[in-house]
Structure 1
Amino acid sequence: MTSGPAPFPRHLLAPEDPVSLPLPPVSHPAPGVRLLRGAVYALREGARPLAVDLWLPLPEEGGEAPPVVVFVHGGGWRTGRRDDPGPRLRAWRPGPFARLAQAGFAVACPDYRLSGEALHPAQTDDLAEALAWLHARARELCVDTGRTVLWGESAGGHLAALTTLDHHLRRDEAHAPATAPATAPASATVTGCVTWYAPTDVEHLAEDCPPGRYDPRDPGTPEALLLGAAPADAPGRARAAGPVARVTPGAPPFLVLHGTDDALIPVRQAVRLADALRGAGVEVELRLVERGDHLWVGLSDGEVEECFLRTLAFFRARTARPGN
């Protein structure tokens, strides 16, 4: 008696583990800089692969592994590129990521699912997965994920703040024996966050805008497309999507930069985040940039450079080893 054909080994259809995928080839876009463009960090059924660009300093014999800056791009959660720091920095040569690598930082620029692909909190789930992937490959990449800071501009600043605060909550839960999951995933340690002109309180955004500028009942706003409903119709979702509502004591320090003349995201949003952080006893530096509009429109080249240098100084302070 003959048996039928063997069943197809369906496990072969499962996606590969991104931690085991080969890294991209190395290029050298600027002196002292290695670039690995497009390393896949997440593979999900029904979704495009998510990738991260890695800007790394050249390794030094016997030197310590560099700390990590994770940059989160903007674009209203609807568009944008992982390697785009905003229009005022695009023409820099060398660019801001290469400058950070030359200053001794490893820079990771990850994709995340846009609002046309998935609703909140998919974006912060993606960034959390990127942090875990970086940590899993830290030895291979020669980076120190125990000293990781997040930085984002506009919608990316919102996601960087939200990811930082959620990451802090997850670590607290993992360290609480009564509530810890059986296998808490290992991840990077986030030691600080920088936001540039970011929305921080979706629930109260309309209150901060001049009359007629923003309608919280409009289902077509970037915020509504992120939530899957107009904020006024889904206040719980709007609240959960705001970093202000996620602040808890013990969160890492923040640097919040916002232009006083921002016509898209009112400066009051930055003040709300700073107030919430201070109220929880979290260290925060709030810098309101005079005459600055969204994307740093209205600032001189020197003033934009000053925003970057202040950000770099924060990175150095928040990744310094004790005693340095």
Structure 2
Amino acid sequence: MPGVHQLRGVPYHVLEGSRPLELDLWLPKAEQARPVPLVLFVHGGSWRRGRRDDMGLRTRTWDPGPFARIAAAGCAVACVDYRLSGEATFPAPLDDLSAALRWLTLRSAELGIDTRRTVVWGESAGGHLAAHLALARTTPPLAGAVIWYAPSDLTTARGSYTPEDPTTPEALMLGAAPTTVPGRAQAASPLAQAHSSAPPFLLVHGNEDTLVSCSHSQSFAAALEKAGVPVELWTVVGADHGWHRLSDTQVDEIFTRSLAFALRLMA
């Protein structure tokens, strides 16, 4: 896309006995009067698969793609690898996101970015991790979070999810059935981690989500609101997981509104 510069496959963390973790960067080409804000994107895939540069099935055919669109709006975008559940269990993927933020902060001057104005954006399992990162006391603290159709509670049966089942993606991410490791399950639940110093959140979830019940975002929004955190909950009528059942126009509207929310926080 004109006006957007890409850096692909940049190693940000080399772990002993594991693959190097990489990130992709989209940067505005035009010279900026000041360092640009950052969107840190976290991909989905049930914590077990997925590509760092994939915002979901409904955006894969976009031209220009979603990350080029964000960069064209004047933001840098970093799409990051994290260890999947076949490689390591929670909190390893969250540790990886924190390492990516540290790497970007250390190199902010040469990249022309301002990580003090970072919004984390994640979808599905990536939204779960993005919520955790926003709730973590990072340095610098994040400016906000955009969370699409993400699990927030691993301790309670919701929709088709049962915490007794050792074969669910949640159990594989934890390393055991959640009911057998209740402390670990609670620590891995953003719902239980809400606190008053968290940044603003936008939670977007389909009311007909058959994979991750919309009640996850409803309960999480209530917990954030109770803690005094600014939160917007957008329940998308008729939407299934991954924005299935929606028209292309509706998906574009969700993206556009999510980007507008992030831009307001990064201004």
Q: Same fold (TM over 0.5)?
A: yes
Query: Does residue 310 in structure 1 map to residue 262 in structure 2?
Result: no
Shift of 1:233: 1.2
The partner residue of 1:201 within 145, 153, 157 is: 153
Q: Hey, what's the Cα distance between the residues in 1 that align with 2:135 and 2:164?
A: 27
The partner residue of 2:131 within 156, 161, 177 is: 161
Partner of 1:7: none
Q: Deviations over 1:230-259 (max 9, x none)?
A: 011111111100111111112100000000
Whether the 8 Å CA contact 1:244–1:273 is kept in 2: the answer is yes
The partner residue of 2:116 within 136, 146, 153 is: 146
The partner residue of 2:79 within 106, 109, 118 is: 109
Return the TM-score normalized by structure 2: 0.98
Shift of 1:59: 3.4
Partner of 2:166: 219
Alignment of 1:129-144 (within 5 A): 129-144=99-114
The partner residue of 1:119 within 74, 82, 89 is: 89
Shift of 1:48: 0.4
Partner of 1:69: 39
- Structure number with greater CO (CA < 8 Å, separation at least 6) is 2
Q: Any idea what SS the aligned residue of 2:59 has?
A: coil
Whether the 8 Å CA contact 1:134–1:188 is kept in 2: the answer is no
Q: Deviations over 1:261-296 (max 9, x none)?
A: 000000000001100100000000000000000000
Q: Hey, what's the Cα distance between the residues in 2 that align with 1:71 and 1:215?
A: 28
Q: Hey, what's the Cα distance between the residues in 2 that align with 1:284 and 1:258?
A: 13
Shift of 1:188: 3.7
Q: Deviations over 1:165-220 (max 9, x none)?
A: 01x3xx5xxxxxxxxxxxxxxx443100010000011112x1x21xxx33322111
Q: Deviations over 1:15-42 (max 9, x none)?
A: xxxxxxxxxxxxxxx1110000011100
Q: Hey, what's the Cα distance between the residues in 1 that align with 2:173 and 2:44?
A: 13
Q: Any idea what SS the aligned residue of 1:84 has?
A: coil
Long gaps (5+) in structure 2: none
Q: How many residues align structurally?
A: 267
Q: Hey, what's the Cα distance between the residues in 1 that align with 2:149 and 2:260?
A: 18
Query: Does residue 32 in structure 1 map to residue 3 in structure 2?
Result: yes
Alignment of 1:243-258 (within 5 A): 243-258=190-205
Whether the 8 Å CA contact 1:150–1:193 is kept in 2: the answer is yes
The partner residue of 1:190 within 108, 121, 142 is: 142
Partner of 2:12: 41
Give the residue type in structure 2 aligned to 1:117.
Answer: E
Q: Deviations over 1:82-118 (max 9, x none)?
A: 0111000000000000000111010000000000000
Displacement over 4 Å in runs of 4+: none
Q: Hey, what's the Cα distance between the residues in 2 that align with 1:259 and 1:287?
A: 8
Whether the 8 Å CA contact 1:203–1:239 is kept in 2: the answer is yes
Give the residue type in structure 2 aligned to 1:317.
Answer: R
Q: Percent identity?
A: 56
RMSD across aligned positions (CA): 0.9
Give the residue type in structure 2 aligned to 1:300.
Answer: S
